[in-house]
Amino acid sequence: MRFTKTIASASVAAVLGLGGVSVAGAASTPSSSKPATVVPATKNPTVKKGVGTALRRRIRRQAGRLAAKTIGITPADLRQELLSGKTIAAIATEHGVNPQKVIDTVVTAANAKIAKAVSSHKITAERGAKLKTRIDNAIPKIVNDWHPKAAAKS
pLDDT, tens digit, 9 for 90 and up, residues 135-149: 999 999 989 986 655
Q: Does residue 22 belong to any structural domain of this protein? A: no
CA distance 60 to 73: 17
Q: Does residue 16 belong to any structural domain of this protein? A: no
Q: Does residue 67 belong to any structural domain of this protein? A: yes
Of residues 97, 96, 92, the one with CA closest to residue 82: 92
* Residue 67 pLDDT: 93
91 and 81 in contact (C-beta within 8 Å)? Answer: yes
Check the CA dihedral 129-130-134-135 and report its sign: negative
Q: Does residue 40 belong to any structural domain of this protein? A: no
Q: What is the pLDDT of residues 54-113, one digit of tens each?
A: 888 888 889 899 999 999 999 999 989 988 888 999 999 999 999 999 999 999 999 999
CA distance 16 to 23: 10
Rg (CA), the chain: 27
Q: Does residue 149 belong to any structural domain of this protein? A: yes
Q: Does residue 113 belong to any structural domain of this protein? A: yes
Of residues 22, 144, 17, 149, the one with CA closest to residue 89: 144
What is the mean pLDDT of the segment spanning 118-133? Answer: 93
Q: Does residue 66 belong to any structural domain of this protein? A: yes
**Choice between 112 and 153, residue whose per-residue pLDDT is larger:** 112
Distances in Å between the Cα of 9 and the Cα atoms of 13, 19, 21, 43, 84 are 6, 15, 18, 31, 64
**Choice between 61 and 20, residue whose per-residue pLDDT is larger:** 61
Burial of 106 (0-12, 13-18, 19+ CB in 10 A): buried
Distances in Å between the Cα of 54 and the Cα atoms of 41, 58, 60 are 25, 6, 10
Q: Is the pLDDT of residue 125 over 80?
A: yes
Q: Does residue 97 belong to any structural domain of this protein? A: yes
Non-local CB neighbours of 140 within 8 Å, separated by 6+ positions = 103
Structural domain tally of the chain? 1
Residue 106: which domain range?
Answer: 54-153
**Choice between 81 and 24, residue whose per-residue pLDDT is larger:** 81
